[in-house]
Structure formats: structure tokens, C-alpha cells
Structure 1
Amino acid sequence: MLQAEIKSKIDKLWNNFWSGGISNPLTVIEQISYLLFIKRLDDMDNLNEKKANRIGKPFQSVFLELNEKLEHEINISDKFDWHLLKWSEFMHLDVNDMFHIVSQKVFPAIKLLGGENSSFTASMKDAVFMIPKASLLQESVRLIDSINMDDSDTKGDLYEYLLSKLATSGVNGQFRTPRHIIRMMVELMDPSAEDKICDPACGTAGFLINSLEYLLEKYTREESVFTDENGSLHNRIGDMMTTEEWEHFKTNLFFGYDFDPSMVRIASMNLMLHSIDNPNVSQTDTLSKRFEEENKYTIVLANPPFKGSIDEGDISATLLKGAKTTKTELLFMKLITRILDLGGRCAVIVPDGVLFGSSKAHKDIRKSIVEENALEGVISMPSGVFKPYAGVSTAILIFTKGGETDRVWFYDMQSDGYSLDDKRIKLEDDGDIPNIIDSFKKIKENKELEPEKDDNWFWVTKDEICDNGYDLSINKYKEVVYEAVHYDPPKEIMDRIKRVDIEIQQQFAELEKLLEE
């Protein structure tokens, strides 16, 4: 979690934007994201220069390339020092000069970063620099520069804290997924460098970023891991990947879609800061008729909107077949099975209503998951996981497209490592998450494995699920164990009461004697 000092700085930055005249929370986040992106771009450029010098390779700054693109794009005739595009350079300028450089040079330059035909450039096409005053920019740059973002956890927490300030969070069933839950789901999927990973409602690309980091760790040789002079651990090098795998990693492994253009821009910047030069993030309503992809991805990781419903006339016809509904949580389940390739795997967060809803659409969706796919696991999560934004109870469904359901692994998560109140304070341990990952890996290796007495997981057969109308709620199958309480015979209890009563009378008698003296 973020240090109190960093939270205080973000709070001050947020308040500065509001007092500066930007009152839309999403606009504030977007403008701050641009500044964070510009700073991290400079940090990474400096780091790449150091790496190149260390191994004796030639180096060309990304800012020199951006300046050349900028000159070509807007036909700059005046002499301009490209170094001033760098955060570490323009931050020392006079307040008005800084405002001119950032608004007229730096911001137009980063919009060209992905290349003419890239999805990043397309998503940034309508991006607007909206910081109205030079003084606001200067104070924002000063505050952001004082935050050390070398640690990837800090970057992730910072983004989460920023997004937590969205006053509209949860209005359309959109809840930020806690990063430790995302990481758990990624580890359960255990992606490889050959996969194609998709999030059809990607938001800021949390699932894609965590998958990326997991893969880099997975493909880093143990002897390549090192800690630099600043104490930062470098364990995401990916030096075990082949040239072909690296090419696939950078161009064709991660795919994200979101209907909100602001989220698409933030997601694209997030991926670019994690070495994906041309991120495959598109502004698309994946439930609409305009999105026709199918049988494409090997892994889907998602936390789609829960409570929304959309105009039936705009829903893709393939999603209306079988179970007719306008509920987004059900439509996304159908979408996921459509876009997964045969044998593709999925880990998706769903509200509990999907597990036991009694409507025909609910039952048909569950039946299709059990009968037409291999449903492997249901992880029931406590309702506090999404606090303070919502107290909704949720579960994670794990299944493989095609194949056959045999028996299903149910896990009853009691703790995710944080308090389940609105404060969500980190606990001393990581709760059930390490055990969930370990147990799932073991049952994947040995499907005959049976739970121990104290385990939080158990098996449910397909026949039992079918007999219960395809109900997937954990309480339908969890055995309630009552601990037997043994009482002494009534006569023994009465004798003890008499003895206690005699002792009390003796003590009263002794007390009366003391008072008479």
C-alpha cells in the first residue's frame, strides 16, 4: 500500500487541480496520467541510456526521435533543443517557459509516440492538454517529481489510489480490481510466452500489466536477477525468451478493449511504459454488433461491469442466441466463451448473482459453462474485497473452452490479506491467497487429490451441480460442521452450584465479622 506521505502528495495534487478549475474526476486523472507518463518516459530513457553505456551499445534517445516526428508533423521552423522535451530538463525552466514547452511541444510529441498507424496514436488523437495555468503545471510537476516511482508496486498503488478518487466509481458496475486479486488470477492462469491474453473490459489494463510482469519474471534466469545501487530489485528481465517470443510479446500477446476513451488512453500509456511499443488497446464496446471477434485468444482475464444493462438493439446477435438478456454480467460470460479459442482458459470475476440467479438466462449461462466447457474452479471471495467502493459478494470462475466438466474445485476464501472493512488495512499475512494458488496447482497436477480436514476447498461432482439446477454458489455444497458440545450430568452441575453457594455464604459471614469489629 502507498505510504502516507505519497498519499498526502496525491491528495494535494488532486486538490490543486480542483481549485485550478478542473472538476471532472476522470479529467483530473487523465491529466495527471499524462504527466506521470511524461516523467516515466524520461526515467526509462535515462535508464536505457545507462544500460546501453554499460554494455557498450549505441543509444539514441526516444526524445530525439519524438522531436524529429514533431518537426515533420507540424513543420517546426524555429530552432528547438530536443533535450527540453525531457522532464528532467523542462522542470527547471521558468514557469511560463515550462508551460509553453509542455503544452506546445511535449504533449503534441507524446501523441506521436506510437507511430502513424498504431492504436496508441489513434487513442491519443482526441487527447487534450487541459491544465489551464502555468502555476498549476509547475506545482504538479514539483509534486510528481518528488514521488519515487522506480518501484513497480508504488506505480501500481499510485494508479489505484488515483482511481479510487473517481466519484463515479461503481456507478455502472465498474469496480477497480485490487492488484493482489489480479496477481492471484494471473498466477492461477500461469500464462506462457506463446499465449494471446485478452481483457474485454480492460479499464487501465491492470490484468494485462500484471500478466506482462508475471511473464517477465517467469522468463528471467535466476542468475540474472540483481539489486541496483538504489536498492531496487530487477527480476523482470525476460532473458530466457527467444527472439521470436520477444517479438510476439511486444506485438501480439496482450489485447485490451474498453468503451471509455479515457480508460483506453490510460491503458495504452500504462502498457507503453512497460515496453509495449504499440499496445493493442482499442476503444470498443465488446458487447455491441461492431465487435465480431471469435476463437482468437488463449487466455481471458477479466472483471467485467456487474450491474449495467444495454440497449438490446445494439447487442451482438451471437450474444443473444440461447439465453436472451440485457444484463452485462451475463453477456460478458457469453462473450468470453465466444472470443476464447478452443482450449483457451479463463479466470473471470462475477457477482454472486451469476452463480445462483433463478432467471432462465442465468440458468442457461451456467448450464453452457458446465456442459460445453470444462469448469475447473469456483473461488468464493468475501464481500469486503471491493470495499470501500462496493460490498458486493463475488466469485472467480475458472474454466477451459471445450473439454468436459468432471468435478469442480470450490474454494471458500475467508481472507485476502486485508481487513474487510472500508479501510482495507494490510494484515500481517496474505490471507488465503498463497494457499489458493498452491492448492490449485496441486489439483491441476493430481485431479485425484482429496482435501485435508482443515482445508478450505472441496470437490463437487458435475452430477451434483446438474441436480441442483447448475447452481454454483458455494453455500449450496459447503458442509456445515457442528462441533458437539458435551455437558456434565445434571446432578454433578447441581452439586457444584451447591458448593459455590456454600463458599459464598462463608465469605459473607467472614465479611460481617470484619464489619462488627
Structure 2
Amino acid sequence: RIDTARDILVGKVPDPKSQVEQITIALIYKFMADMDAEAEELGGRRKFFSGDYLRYGWAKLMRSGLGGHEMLNLYAEAIGKMPENPGIPVLFRNIFKNAFLPYRDPETLRSFLKVIDEFEYDHSERLGDAFEYLLSVLGSQGDAGQFRTPRHIIDLIVAIVDPKKTETILDPACGTAGFLISAYKHILRANSSPETIDSRPVSVDADRRLDSSSIPPARGDLLTPDERAQLAENLSGYDISPDMVRLSLVNMYLHGFAEPHITEYDTLTGEERWNELADVILANPPFMTPKGGIRPHRRFSVQSRRSEVLFLDYFLEHLAPDGKAGVIVPEGIHFVAHSAHVQLRRMLLEAGFLLVDITLPHGVFKPYASVKTHILLIDRRLARRSDSVLFVEIENDGFTQTDTREPITGSQISVAKDEILRYKSALMEGRNWKPLKTSPLRLYTVRKMELLNGEGSHLLGRWHDLPNRVIHRPDVPLVRMGDICDIRDGLSPNMATPPGDFALVVPAEDRKTADHWDYDGKAICIPLVSSSGHGKADIKRIHYEEGRFALATTMCAAFAKDESAVNLRYLHLFLSAACDDLLVPLMCGATNVTMASSQLLDVLVPMPERPLQDEVVENELVRGRLSDMLMAARSLSQVSTNPEIRELAEQVILELENALESVSAKLTIAHFIPKRGSFSGEPPESSTSAA
């Protein structure tokens, strides 16, 4: 029915946000009439449509015989006057504030109200779920840098923060109140007897799964009436947008909050609520900073005009002494070298705030933004007990990283939740924690002192974990690239270099040409900028180049310091094969994802003796040529109708397959990159001495 209502409106109201507002106003209008009817059935009196407002009752609006223009004028007049209705609570007056009908087509309104008439207020969670689905069409408020948080991410954050029934819970940038409602459902479930929790799997259509909560309905029957009333008082939210406040109020009301505490308030410039603290803060604040920056007051500890910096500072300043928080931040918070960013990171570590850092897939907010984000789990009590930060890297959140965000298998969300809760439990009980060996996630701890001593006190845990990502044969030594190679930056602009007689090496597969050369010799050419555009770190290919060539400024080149000890083709093969584990993690950036060439100096690579390097290179080159020949022979066999040619092709195919099998059994680069875990098995017999 929500979709039907939107389909009716779309011709006259194309903007999704305006559609949501029109449906919201109409639903509340209808629900007020339903509550009046229910009151009369129970022997009470009408309060919403009485006195001078009786003429606007839903039944009068929908009565047969009412002309189209009469209906339109009556409805438009009613929603305009509703904020003045003394019979409705302040909550509803706020919802109707500034409401108006943006079109004047009677048939559109009649069809629209017929759909709204099918909804009935019944105090159940179904209405709240339906409204949550309606809100999902908002997607993005791009002008404010706001992106609706997927419900499975909200549920994950709430689960690992684990708010309690006695704790005050605040979302200072609440949007449509998704975090508050998820926290409420979480607390109800924690305070319900097992038989009152709906144990059936939450089942929704595939196209609604991204916007549906996974928390099963629960009654909260173990809460006393006083506890339930206090819980309603404990949940509060702020938002700078009156439209978002209106939607939050409706969302909270439809989830059972008679008087939701949602306030129109500018968290970053307002001071009247500065002294209010919260036990729990849950938030996904706007990332975008308006032109000219924010102009905050002077009570922030960190002086900045960047919205993401100010919001995070606000969260830290407004937590109770033993408070906890789950907030989403752009990756820039983790590495930007500005003094405000560095001060904020040091505060997170030194003052005992940061407990867990979770890396989210780059496409979590698609199609509205491709931005690298993290969840910061803050727990002041537990963080003071630990000298380390747990880092969790989620690569699969159950949906594709494309604009369509289709459901896929292999989600790591549940595993991440369980591992983090296990980590928290170990800290609370004073036990040692180790990640489960069977976990598909990459989890590791980094000591806070190591993070503080890193360049700019950056919070990119993967940079500290890089040595553990070099999976190699134990009988082959690891060496720093900086000890065996000179790293030089590209000098020629990719798009502005005039063509000529020399190769211009660029990140793309095909080289360009240049009218000059920058370097002369054998080199491995490595991109410094992600090849996948905004938000995602990726390197499609690494080039090997010989002779005189120009190099794009978006790349760097590695030259062997001693060619008698290093076969650069071997190093090229290794880096190409291990790129995703060793080089891609060096890239960072919320939108423009890059790395510095100096970072390559500390990359560890396995370096066998030179004869073994040469053998690997020869076998890989031979295998490549054989594969090309085999493909050509198979193509010849398929396209030729000449029996003699086909017979010859089949004979060549057989011989090439045997040759390829023989070469594959010899030493290749794969033998220096065994699968994750300890190296097992012996390398194939080599014609040279063992390394």
C-alpha cells in the first residue's frame, strides 16, 4: 500500500522527500480519526475532531457524494489549520506544522486518500514497520550530507553497544530515529521472557531487506510499568531539520511512544543543551561540511570547522563517565594530518574512549555515496581496562557493493557481532581473548601505544597489521622493499603529457605515449591512486617496464638497488599476486583513495636466492606463453572445417596441455604465497640449490 500511494503521487509530487511528507501527514490524519472512533466505542468522547474541527473528520472527507474539488479544498484547509487545533496534543501539532497540499488535482487526491483509508491504527508494530519502509525511500538528503543508515548496520551497532533499560540514550543527529527505535527494540527483547519473543526468522522481501530491522518483536513483559515509563523518558534525539524532526516524531509514535523526545536543535552551534550528558550515544552524523565550514561555539575541546570532527568531539564530551557509544565516521577521521584530527585521535586513545574499530565495506551507503566508513565502538569503562584496540574488517555485509545493493550470501555481520561481544566479555571477566581460527573475518588488536606513536597517531589498524599479511614460506627470508629497491615518483601528468616516441606508463592496462622519458632501466610501476573511483581502495594491475619510459604522476616506480640480487620480474610477479593483501590496504581516503610512495619502503616481501627467482620468472613466462598458444590452438580447432587442420590442432592442444601441466608442477610464484595459515608441503624439486 505504501508503494501504491507513492505511485499515485509520483506524477504530481516527483520528489521522494515530499512524497514521504504527504503520506506521513495523511496517515496521521487518518489515525487521529481512528482514535476518535475507538474512544467513542469505549464510551469516551472525540478529542481530535470535535467542535469547530468536527467538519474536518475523516468520514466527512471520504463521504460519497462529496465532489472532487470540495474534497480537495476541505483536505487542504484541514491540514493547514490542524496546528491550531486545541484538541490534539503538541506532538501532532508539530507534525502538521507548515503542512500544505502541493498539488491541486482532485482525482490524484481522491485516489491517494482511498489508499490511506485502507490503513487502520491498531497499536501494533506493523504500522511502525510500514512507516520504516516508507522512510527507506528517502535514501539521501544529499544537500546536508546525510545518508540514511541501512537497518542491518544500525542493528549491529546497537547489538555491540548493548544499551540497558536504565541508561539514557541519545542520538544527536537522529534523522528518522532509526537508532532510537532499534535501541528500544533491543531493550524490549533483553527484558522479555523467552516465550514472548517472536522466534521466527524475520522474513521480508529481498527488495526490503536492506531497510528492515532484524531484531525480532518482543513484548518486554519483564519490565515493570515504572521501568517502561522510564525507558520512554530515556530515549531522546536532536536534528537540525524540522522535516526530519517531524518524521522522527511520527516514527517514534507509531512504535509506541506517546510523547517522543525529539527536538529541533543544532548540535554543533547550539549551547542550551551542552551540559546534558548521556549514558549511550548512537549516531551516524552528516559528513558534509558546508562551504565556509561550521561556525561552532567555543566550548568544544577540539577547534575545527569540519562537521565530522565536531560531531565526534561532541559525542566524547557528552558521554557520562562510564558511557558508551556506537558511531559511524568517515575514514578521514583516522588519518588526516590536521591538528584537530590528530588531537581527536589522541583523545580517543589516551582518555580511554576507543574500544573497537570496525571497517565497513565501501558500498554501505550506495547508491547515494561511495565512501569509506568505520564504526567506532566507544566504551569508557572497558577501554580503560585494555591497552589495545580491537580492529575488525567487514568485507561482506550481505549485499553487493553496487548501486542496486542486491542481497548476497556470506554476510560477515553476525560473525562480527559475536566476535566483538566475545571480546567485550573477555575484558569484563579479565580473560585473554583470541580470535576464533575458523572466523572468516580479519580481526586483530593493536596496542594503543603503538597507535599513538604512529605517524599522526593514525587509527588505520591495517597499516600496523601489514607484517601479518605476508604469507610466505618459512625457509625464505622477508626483506623490506626499501632495502632492495629505490622508489621514485612519476613525473609526467597523465592527461597533459604530449604524445611521442616513448611509452607513458599509466594505471590503465594500455600504456600511452610521451614526447620525453623520465627514467631508463627495469622498473615495477605501481599505481598510487585507486582504480575503482570514489570510496574503494583497489589496484587493477602493476606494470613491469624496461628501457626508457615516462611515468604518470599517479604512479611510482621501484628500481632494484642490486640487480645481481633482485630479479625485478620476480618481485613484479609477487606484488601482483599479493597486491590485495599488501598494497591495497596502504590506500586510504573517504572519497579519493590514495597512498604515498614512501609507504612502499616498509612493505615486506619474501626474497629467495637469485637462482630461485630466475627459475620462478622463467617458469611463469613459459607458462604464460604456453597458455596463449593453447588458447590459439583451441580457437583454431573450433573455427576450422578442414579435417587435416583440426587433426593438427588437436595434436598441438594435447602436447601443449602436457607441457603446461609439466611447467605448472615446477616452481612458480604460487609457491611463495601459500594459502592463509602455516606453509605445508614441500616445494617442487628445483634445478638450482635450495634457498
Q: TM-score range by the shorter chain?
A: 0.7 to 0.9
Superposed displacement of residue 202, structure 1: 1.1
- CA gap of 1:200–1:103, structure 2 versus 1, over 3 A, is same
Per the alignment, residue 189 of structure 2 pairs with: 217
| Separation in 1, partners of 2:270, 2:310 | 13
Aligned residue among 406, 423, 432 for 2:404: 423
Indicate if the aligned counterparts of 1:349 and 1:397 stay in contact, CA closer than 8 A: yes
Asked if 1:34 corresponds to 2:34, the answer is no
Which amino acid counterpart does residue 183 of structure 2 have in structure 1? Answer: S
Asked if 1:356 corresponds to 2:335, the answer is yes
- Higher Rg: 2
String of CA shifts for 1:401-421, please: whole Å, max 9, x gaps.
476252111100011111011
Per the alignment, residue 161 of structure 2 pairs with: 189
- CA gap of 1:510–1:461, structure 2 versus 1, over 3 A, is closer
- CA gap of 1:25–1:152, structure 2 versus 1, over 3 A, is closer
Superposed displacement of residue 179, structure 1: 1.3
Q: Give 1:173-322 correspondences, 5 Å limit.
A: 173-225=145-197, 235-250=217-232, 252-309=233-290, 314-319=295-300, 321=301
- CA gap of 1:30–1:227, structure 2 versus 1, over 3 A, is same
Indicate if the aligned counterparts of 2:354 and 2:378 stay in contact, CA closer than 8 A: yes
Indicate if the aligned counterparts of 1:379 and 1:412 stay in contact, CA closer than 8 A: yes
Which amino acid counterpart does residue 84 of structure 1 have in structure 2? Answer: A
String of CA shifts for 1:81-111, please: whole Å, max 9, x gaps.
95628x9x66996544543553344674587
Which amino acid counterpart does residue 434 of structure 1 have in structure 2? Answer: S
Superposed displacement of residue 158, structure 1: 2.7
| Separation in 1, partners of 2:57, 2:645 | 98
Aligned residue among 45, 49, 58 for 1:67: 49
Per the alignment, residue 361 of structure 2 pairs with: 382
String of CA shifts for 1:337-387, please: whole Å, max 9, x gaps.
222222111111000000111110100011111112331110001110011
Per the alignment, residue 157 of structure 1 pairs with: 133
Superposed displacement of residue 175, structure 1: 1.1
| Separation in 1, partners of 2:86, 2:249 | 11
Per the alignment, residue 470 of structure 1 pairs with: 457
String of CA shifts for 1:24-69, please: whole Å, max 9, x gaps.
65434322221244456667889x89xx99xxxx5758xx22124x
- CA gap of 1:509–1:273, structure 2 versus 1, over 3 A, is closer
| Matched residue SS, 1:65 | coil
Per the alignment, residue 656 of structure 2 pairs with: none
Superposed displacement of residue 390, structure 1: 0.5
Which amino acid counterpart does residue 394 of structure 2 have in structure 1? Answer: M
String of CA shifts for 1:212-252, please: whole Å, max 9, x gaps.
22223333323235699xx99983322221111121123x1
| Separation in 1, partners of 2:15, 2:614 | 71
Identity %: 26
| Separation in 1, partners of 2:264, 2:15 | 21
Structure 1 unaligned regions, length at least 5: none
Indicate if the aligned counterparts of 2:191 and 2:221 stay in contact, CA closer than 8 A: yes
Aligned residue among 469, 474, 483 for 1:481: 469
Deviates more, 1:384-393 or 1:450-459: 450-459
Which amino acid counterpart does residue 179 of structure 1 have in structure 2? Answer: R
| Separation in 2, partners of 1:302, 1:461 | 26
Superposed displacement of residue 393, structure 1: 0.3
| Separation in 2, partners of 1:109, 1:180 | 36
Asked if 1:103 corresponds to 2:94, the answer is no
Asked if 1:128 corresponds to 2:109, the answer is no
| Matched residue SS, 2:218 | coil
Asked if 1:442 corresponds to 2:429, the answer is no
Per the alignment, residue 84 of structure 1 pairs with: 59
Which amino acid counterpart does residue 29 of structure 1 have in structure 2? Answer: V
Asked if 1:13 corresponds to 2:8, the answer is yes
Which amino acid counterpart does residue 250 of structure 2 have in structure 1? Answer: M
Superposed displacement of residue 290, structure 1: 3.7
Alignment RMSD (CA, Å): 4.2
Deviates more, 1:129-138 or 1:442-451: 129-138
| Matched residue SS, 2:189 | helix
May I ask how many residue pairs the two structures share in their alignment?
Answer: 469
- CA gap of 1:470–1:105, structure 2 versus 1, over 3 A, is same
- CA gap of 1:369–1:245, structure 2 versus 1, over 3 A, is same
| Matched residue SS, 1:248 | helix
| Separation in 1, partners of 2:399, 2:329 | 20
Per the alignment, residue 414 of structure 1 pairs with: 395
| Separation in 2, partners of 1:92, 1:240 | 51
TM-score with structure 2 setting the length: 0.59
Indicate if the aligned counterparts of 1:257 and 1:286 stay in contact, CA closer than 8 A: yes
Q: Give 1:383-398 correspondences, 5 Å limit.
A: 383-398=362-377
String of CA shifts for 1:161-220, please: whole Å, max 9, x gaps.
2x03x6xx3233211111111111111121222121111111111111222222233333
Superposed displacement of residue 510, structure 1: 11
| Matched residue SS, 1:142 | helix
| Separation in 2, partners of 1:335, 1:98 | 49
| Matched residue SS, 1:386 | coil
Flag the structure with more relative contact order, 1 or 2, with Cα contacts below 8 A and sequence separation at least 6: 1
Indicate if the aligned counterparts of 1:119 and 1:281 stay in contact, CA closer than 8 A: no
Indicate if the aligned counterparts of 1:220 and 1:236 stay in contact, CA closer than 8 A: yes
- CA gap of 1:307–1:358, structure 2 versus 1, over 3 A, is same
Superposed displacement of residue 432, structure 1: 1.1
Aligned residue among 340, 346, 370 for 2:325: 346
Aligned residue among 441, 445, 453 for 1:459: 445
Which amino acid counterpart does residue 413 of structure 2 have in structure 1? Answer: I
| Separation in 1, partners of 2:294, 2:459 | 30
Q: Give 1:160-171 correspondences, 5 Å limit.
A: 160-161=136-137, 163-164=138-139, 169-171=141-143
Indicate if the aligned counterparts of 2:189 and 2:217 stay in contact, CA closer than 8 A: yes
- CA gap of 1:83–1:328, structure 2 versus 1, over 3 A, is closer
Which amino acid counterpart does residue 303 of structure 2 have in structure 1? Answer: K
Superposed displacement of residue 444, structure 1: 0.9
